Amino acid sequence: MYNNQLIGQNAPQQFNPTLNPLQQARASGVVQEYKFITFKPKKQQKELINVLKAEPKKFIGIKYGKKFNLKDRCVVCGYHHIWEQGDYMRPPIPLDGVIKGRPLRGTYCPKHASHYMQLEMLQQQILADKHGLDFKAFKPKMPKILKSGPIKSLTREDVLSLTNAGWFITPPALADNKTATDEVIRLITEINIMTDRMNHLMLKHNIKATNEEPIENKED
């Protein structure tokens, strides 16, 4: 479980009974599901948008700018959090209108990133209801190979598993002092990856390749 860390503070904030539900949801804390007050999806979407709006700056009651619009700071509660590159909960760049508007410099802390994921699921549900489709809650999935930490090497089975799941793998770039042998190895690796991906797509979508004669042969 994530615990938000405020600069200079080691413990996350606990439940504060003096705060109303909106203030409590906007306060920093551990990752938890947001409990809706309303029942209709569109009203629930409005709730989450209010929760995820960036905290404004205020001067004598006048709002101007954003209070926590800083790198690695949650735009909602101000907690400092550095996201790892492969973290599946890592949120997109926040917008000043949550679902629209201009991008902000900050981010979301783990608690509010989980609320943003709830918002995305809710948007999918609203879209499914609009078109009369069955909705299944979005559950982020990652290949098992990515769950154990940074990848340092890949076997042939790993490459096949990732490419079959839709991932595109590019061999690491070599330094300028690469030899002809290194270049050949890189090219062979790329050809094998692309061939495996092509075979997967052809089998999955029942694509049949056809050989066409060159134009000059047809003219003869």
The pLDDT, as a whole number, for residue 98 is: 93
Residue 180 or 138, more confident: 180
Of 34-43, 140-149, 208-217, give the lowest mean pLDDT range: 140-149
Contact 111, 31 (CB under 8 A): yes
The pLDDT, as a whole number, for residue 135 is: 65
Domain layout of the chain by residue ranges: 21-130, 144-204
Q: Which of helix, strand or coil describes residue 161?
A: helix
Give the angle 40-45-51 at the CA atoms, nearest 5°. Answer: 130
- Tens-place pLDDT, residues 135-160: 665 554 555 555 555 666 677 777 66
Q: Would the pLDDT of 170 be above 80?
A: no
Q: Would the pLDDT of 25 be above 80?
A: yes
Q: Which residue's structure tokens are 């949801």?
A: 25
Count other Cβ atoms within 10 Å, centred on residue 60.
4
Q: Which residue's structure tokens are 């996350």?
A: 12
- Tens-place pLDDT, residues 50-88: 999 999 887 777 777 888 889 999 999 999 999 988 788
Count other Cβ atoms within 10 Å, centred on residue 54.
22
C-beta contacts of 117-121 below 8 A and 24+ residues apart: 117/89, 117/91, 118/33, 118/34, 118/48, 119/45, 119/48, 119/49, 119/52
C-beta contacts of 136-142 below 8 A and 24+ residues apart: 140/88, 140/89, 142/88
